[in-house]
Each structure stands twice: as structure tokens, then as C-alpha cells.
Chains A and B, each alone.
Chain A
Amino acid sequence: MRHTISMLVENRFGVLSRVAGLFSGRGYNIESLSVGETIDSKVSLMTIVTTGDDKIIEQITKQLNKLIDVIKVVDLTEVDHVEREMILIKVSPRQADKAEVLRLAEIFRGRVVDSSPKTYTIEITGDEKKIAAFVELMKPFGIKEFVRTGKIAIAREGTRKT
């Protein structure tokens, strides 16, 4: 199963490679990873999406906890949480389709962040499903390229571990 693991780590050089090294050294897979500062500038938050059966996920969370620079590990999959990803997608629709592309972007609450005579670059934010759906919809119009951020996630306030 897919798990979203959120962890607070000391904001020091080398922490990312400790975490990444743990995954590669033990044969676990990182599907996406994002890192950013928190309110406390000495602490960073990492969000990692990985897959594995319960036993593997248990090992991953324990092993992460064991790293000296890791302060706290939460498997968000076990709690109610909100997750977001962002995609920047560059499409090159034919003249006749341009209006339709813009209409779809609007439905998805996207924004056109760049346009050229031949292309639109659209920014979409949402959970994985929404992003996948939008990509699917754009395919017939001709996707030139896209970039995605990793997933970030946060527990909903007042939720308990289920």
C-alpha cells in the first residue's frame, strides 16, 4: 500500500542524504519527496511517499526514527490529513481547442502562468487524483511537458491516530 510519511528533521547538511541513503541501502522505494523549512528554521519537514506492505512500512518508520537527526515520524496514512501537489503543465492546443483548454483549467481552478502563441502553461494544485485527472484531460490537446512537485501533507486539526 501507498503511504505518506511526514517527518520533522534537524535542518542540518547531510540529513537528506541520511534519509535517502536509508531508503536506497535497504531497498525501499521513494516515490516522491519534498523538503521545506518549518516555522522553526532549525527544523525541516520532509514528506515522503513510499509503498510497501505493513511490515516494510513498520521497518521504514522505525528506521527513520532511529536516525539521530530525525525528530519525529508520522505515517499520515493512518490519520485524517490533507495533501497537496502542484503541477505546471505546458500544452500546445490547436487554435480551435484553446478555449476548451482554458475552460477546463478554470473548472480545475488552474491558472495560466505563461502563454505563448503556441502554448499555455497551466498551474494546478490539488491532491493526486485531481492532478491525474487534469493530466488525462489535457492529453488529447497535446502536452509538451510538465513538472510536478512532490506531495506535501498535513494532519487535520483535532484528529487522532485511527
Chain B
Amino acid sequence: MKISGAEIVIECLKREDVRHIFGYPGGVVLNIFDILYDNSDIQVILTRHEQGAVHAADGYARATGRPGIALVTSGPGATNTVTGIATAYMDSIPIVVFSGQVPTKLIGNDAFQEADIVGITRPCTKHNFLVKDVNDLARTIREAFYIATSGRPGPVLIDLPKDVTGDVTTFKWPEEVRLRSYNPKYEGNRWMIKQAALSIRKAKKAVIIAGGGVIHSNASRELKELAEFTEIPVIMTLMGLGAFPGTHRLSLGMPGMHGAYCTNKAIQESDLLVAVGIRFDDRVTGRIADFAPHAKIIHIDIDPTSIKKNVGADIPIVGDAKRVLKVLVEMLKEEGKTQWQAVRRSWLKQIEAWRKEHPLGYVYSDTVIKPQYVVEKIYELTKGDAIISTEVGQNQMWTAQFYKFERPRTLLTSGGLGTMGYGFPAAMGAQVARPDMTVIDIAGDGSIQMNIQELATCVVNRLPVKVAILNNRYLGMVRQWQELFYNERYSYSHLDVVPDFVKLAEAYGAAGFRATKPSEVEEVLRAGLAVKDRPVLMDFIVDWKEKVFPMVPAGAAIDEMIFGEEAEKGKGKKKLRAVK
């Protein structure tokens, strides 16, 4: 029996176990939307913007580990996906984006709503395809899912000309995918892992840095075993938060530009760095030349290009974090139990001393709401049992600093690209995947306005996503840099008019609450969290002067930090230099 390309697309999605699509229709994808009209296996969530659809697919993928799917039309529909795709690419998130394309005969003719989306997204996808023949469709979709979800995951785009989805052929599902040019390596080299084990044995001042790779490879259990068995403290990059329990005695939280002093200090003074699933972003390393100067570096990553790209590696191990860590722990255990606690005692004590020297904190006020206080309260009320997304800016860093992530896949944040407007649609996607969970977007008043239209999507689909806006009437992070590095010249970072978010919520049919005093914070949060049938905007009018500290100025070494009170007193300011 022959079926149409559009039917093939849906049949393939079913076989890939897809249950949700975030989509937005248009002329050249109507063939596909028509099949979806009376399909009960796959639910389409009609977003209000294609960027929202892709971020939602991304949030869906981060929260579950399963690929998120977006379906959009050609031209403007396709170009609207670019920011979402680039966001997923930078953070290695498996999504598959289907874009419509003008009929094959018109490609290249500047046809109505034609855009070379395969060309445009080439540098920000793991791979992309233009399907020119309906007979290639099933195999291409199978390959796309395989590529998106295997090895180092990433976004894949499939461009579907209208005639390809209209043509008919016999459906043939390729049971197996084989690509001679793509064979991710999962098993680490045993000899190298042995070297790693030996180094761990010898090291006195070791630290683990875990990144997003640990979460992608579901290696949290192995990571915990390694840390607990060897008594090595664990640092997590922004992408790695949740890979190891934030409340664990061995957790040191996030390093880098806004990392805690003891965290950065531990890296700088360490004699061994066990880096797992991280790519040493410049926000983590600070000035490369002075990064971890005394440390031997073990670098475990599935992507060979991540190794020795920014930071050298003494023991490079290409492989899947979960499998490599498993072997590493086995090898360490085989050698019997060293008195790790005795070995590490002084190192852990030293780190504790650094923690006391400059603890992560803020000055509480009972007249004006401190944004950090809101984050702390959210943690208190959810006990870590929630999915938290963030926007970008101060809100993102305060969340990373003050919310204790207990489990993997509970933080959704745009780390690599730093995309404002990511958090809300991502939360929406996560809520679709996990209707049982509390999902909260910790937002800035600037960022939330970048994809606010998705309120309508949440209302229609009764998605009770919570948005906690840390409303400082500023592009706060920009303002912070201008205050510290640009002589307080606040060039175009004041938002002047911020909409009345409570009224806005109500206009959309969502719930809206506002807190203007610290005493109202908990009450508003409780009221917001209690709403189960609609999205909620909670507007926290916070101290606009508050900054994220500590801070490593761009281009400085990560232990050259400035701290809150000092900066306020004007100390330290002179040390800062203008930055890129």
C-alpha cells in the first residue's frame, strides 16, 4: 500500500515513540498538519511563536532525556527557529526540527516563503537534511533521530519540500541505522582509565568538575559513587547543576565567573582535576593561562573536539561519562579501600576555610525584596522537588547560586548561548512532558518579555507553569557590567516601562500575583504554587541595585574575584579593567 510523505512522517514519529509536537502551521506544511488533525497518538501543542516551539521542544528534551520535536513552516517559520536551534546546539540538546520547504521544483527560485534553512542552520545543527525524494523520507527521519540522540546529542533539522510530503510511496521502516561516517565512541580506553585511577590515588587535593555531559549520559549515580568512594568534592558547571546533589557535603556548587570563592579557589589550588562532560567554557575557566595552574587534568568527554580545545588534558579519555566512570570506580575499588577520608581531611578542611572566608550570600533587607531571597524561598517551598528553568541575566546566576538542585534534569537553562526568552517556553515544554511536576521559570523582567506570548499556549493547554519574575526594571546584568566596568553609564539598560505583569497575566487568562515587600514573598509563592489549572505570573518587585557576587571580571583568573561589600564600598573597583 502506498502512503503519502506526510503520512510517512507521522508513522515514523510514532515509531520513534513521539507523543508531542510543538508546532506552528503554514502553507507548505499543511500536508502534515492535515494528517495530525485526526491523529490521536500525537498531540500537537500550537505555540504562539516558532521560537517558543523550539525552546519548548528543548525544555521537553532536557526534562526527560528524550528528543523534543518541533514542526514549522518554510521561510519565516523556519528562520524563527534559528535561535532555538542554536540554543540547543550550544548545550547539546537532542531535538528534531521539521521545517516545511517550497516544492523541490521551486527551490532556488526565490519562491514565496523560501529560505535556505539548511544553509542557515548548517553551523548550528549537529546535522541537517533536505529531503528531495519521498523514498528517502523514512530513512532520513530514522537517521535524524539517531544522530540527535546518540554520541554528543544535538539538534537536527529536516527540511521537507511540499511535494515530498504530498508524493506517495510504499512505506519501509529501516529497522537499523548505520552510518559509515558516524560512529560515536562510548567505551573509554581502559589503559587511560587506569592512568586516571592511578592519578586519583596519588592526588591529595583533587576536585571533580561535572558538566552537562554527566546529565546527558545519565551518569549521576556513577559520579556520586566516585565522589563518595574517593572523598573528592564535586563542582558543577551551570550545565552540570543537578548532576550531583547540591546539598551533599561534598558539593561545591558552580565555578567560574559567578562561582563561590571556595569553589574557584579549590580549582586553582588543586593538584588533580577530574573533568567529566565539560567543555571548559571561558565563563568557567577565566583567564586560561592561569587556570588550575598546579593541576593534572583528567578529561572525560564523548566529543574528542572538547578535549584539548581550551584547556590541555594530561589524561584524555574519549567516551561516554557513565561507562567511563563505572570502569573508573571499579578499578579504584579493586585496589582496595585507601583511607580516603584521612587523605582528604586537610583538603576538605582547607576548602571549608575558604568557604568561611567568603561565603556565598547577600544582605537581607526587610524593607525591599532581595532577589536572592525570592530564589531561596522558592527552594524552601519546593525542597528541590521541582523543575526550574531560568532566563538569562542576573536571574539565571542567582538561581544557580541559591537554588540547591538535587537531581539531574531539574534545571533548564541556556548555558552556552545565553538566550533571553528561553526559560518560559522551555518550562512549558517540560510541563508538557511532566504534568505531575511543579515547573517554575525564574525570570527577569527583560527576558520574560521575549517570549511572553506563550502565556496563551499555556492557558489553552492548561499548563500550570509558574513564572517568578525578579522585576528590577532593568536589564540587570547589563546594568551590573555598566556599573562596574563602564563608569556607571547606564546606556540603554533601563527598561523605563515594564508592563503591569499582573494585569497582563489576567488579560491572557492566567493568574497574576505581586509582591512588593519581603513579607509578601512567601504568601505570593504559596498562592502561585497552589494554582493547578493555569499559568501563573508572580511579579516580585526587587531591589534594582542588587548585583551578582562574587564576580570574576572577564579576562581575569578565576581567583581574582570581587565581592559584594567591597565593591559597594568602592574598594576593588579600581582593580577592574574594561572588558570585551
Residues of A with Cβ closer than 8 Å to B? Answer: 9-10, 14, 17-18, 21, 25, 55, 58-59, 62-63, 65-66, 68-71
A98 smallest CB distance to B (angstroms): 49
Instruction: Check if B182 sits within 8 Å of A68, measured CB to CB.
Output: yes
Tell me if B126 is interfacial: C-beta within 8 Å of chain A. yes
Instruction: Check if A14 sits within 8 Å of B122, measured CB to CB.
Output: yes
B 291-316 to A, binary, CB cutoff 8 A, 1 in contact else 0: 00000000000011100110000000
CA distance A17 to B123 in the complex (A): 10
B47 smallest CB distance to A (angstroms): 29
Instruction: Check if B308 sits within 8 Å of A58, measured CB to CB.
Output: yes
Given A55-B308, A68-B179, A17-B303 contact (CB < 8 Å)? no
Tell me if B181 is interfacial: C-beta within 8 Å of chain A. yes
CA distance A63 to B309 in the complex (A): 10
Given A71-B180, A71-B181, A63-B305 contact (CB < 8 Å)? yes
Instruction: Check if B181 sits within 8 Å of A68, measured CB to CB.
Output: yes
Would you give 14 A-B contacts (Cβ < 8 Å), ordered by A? A14-B118, A17-B119, A21-B122, A25-B123, A58-B308, A59-B305, A59-B309, A65-B304, A66-B303, A66-B305, A68-B179, A68-B181, A69-B181, A71-B181
Residue of B nearest to A68 (CB): B127
Residue of A nearest to B303 (CB): A66
CA distance A63 to B305 in the complex (A): 6
Among B118, B119, B126, B305, point to the contact of A68 (Cβ < 8 A): B126
Residues of A within 8 A of B562 (CB): none
Tell me if B147 is interfacial: C-beta within 8 Å of chain A. yes
Given A14-B118, A17-B119, A17-B122, A70-B181 contact (CB < 8 Å)? yes
Q: Which of B119, B182, B305 has the most CB of A within 10 A?
A: B305
Residues of B within 8 A of A9 (CB): 181
Q: Which of A17, A58, A68 has the most CB of B within 10 A?
A: A68
CA distance A68 to B275 in the complex (A): 26
Q: State the 10 A-B residue pairs at the shortest beta-carbon distance, nearest first.
A: A71-B181, A68-B127, A62-B305, A62-B304, A25-B123, A68-B182, A63-B305, A66-B305, A21-B123, A21-B122
B536 smallest CB distance to A (angstroms): 41
Residue of B nearest to A54 (CB): B308
Q: Which of B118, B126, B181 has the most CB of A within 10 A?
A: B181
CA distance A55 to B127 in the complex (A): 25
Given A59-B305, A65-B304, A66-B305, A18-B122 contact (CB < 8 Å)? yes
Residue of A nearest to B126 (CB): A68
A120 smallest CB distance to B (angstroms): 42
Instruction: Check if A68 sits within 8 Å of B147, measured CB to CB.
Output: yes
Residues of B within 8 A of A59 (CB): 305, 308-309
B447 smallest CB distance to A (angstroms): 27
Residues of A within 8 A of B130 (CB): 14
Residues of A within 8 A of B118 (CB): 14
B173 smallest CB distance to A (angstroms): 21
Residues of A within 8 A of B304 (CB): 62, 65-66
Residues of B within 8 A of A18 (CB): 122
CA distance A65 to B304 in the complex (A): 9
Residues of B within 8 A of A21 (CB): 122-123
B 158-199 to A, binary, CB cutoff 8 A, 1 in contact else 0: 000000000000000000000111100000000000000000
CA distance A70 to B182 in the complex (A): 8
Given A17-B119, A17-B122, A10-B305 contact (CB < 8 Å)? no
Residue of B nearest to A65 (CB): B304
CA distance A68 to B118 in the complex (A): 14
Residues of A within 8 A of B147 (CB): 68
Residues of B within 8 A of A66 (CB): 303-305
CA distance A58 to B165 in the complex (A): 42
CA distance A58 to B307 in the complex (A): 10
CA distance A66 to B305 in the complex (A): 8
A58 smallest CB distance to B (angstroms): 7
CA distance A59 to B307 in the complex (A): 9
B 519-554 to A, binary, CB cutoff 8 A, 1 in contact else 0: 000000000000000000000000000000000000
Contacts beyond the supplied A14-B118, A68-B179: 7 A-B pairs with Cβ under 8 Å: A17-B122, A18-B122, A55-B308, A62-B304, A66-B304, A68-B147, A69-B181
- B83-125 contacts to A, CB under 8 A, are 118-119, 122-123
Residues of A within 8 A of B179 (CB): 68
B425 smallest CB distance to A (angstroms): 27
B149 smallest CB distance to A (angstroms): 14
CA distance A55 to B219 in the complex (A): 30
CA distance A162 to B308 in the complex (A): 22
Residue of A nearest to B156 (CB): A68
B85 smallest CB distance to A (angstroms): 15
Residue of B nearest to A70 (CB): B181
Residues of B within 8 A of A70 (CB): 181
Residues of A within 8 A of B127 (CB): 68
CA distance A121 to B119 in the complex (A): 39
Residues of A within 8 A of B119 (CB): 17
Residues of A within 8 A of B181 (CB): 9-10, 68-71
B401 smallest CB distance to A (angstroms): 33
B 125-162 to A, binary, CB cutoff 8 A, 1 in contact else 0: 01100100000000000000001000000000000000
Residue of A nearest to B151 (CB): A66
CA distance A125 to B119 in the complex (A): 36
CA distance A93 to B122 in the complex (A): 49
B146 smallest CB distance to A (angstroms): 10
Residues of B within 8 A of A25 (CB): 123
- B248-288 contacts to A, CB under 8 A, are none
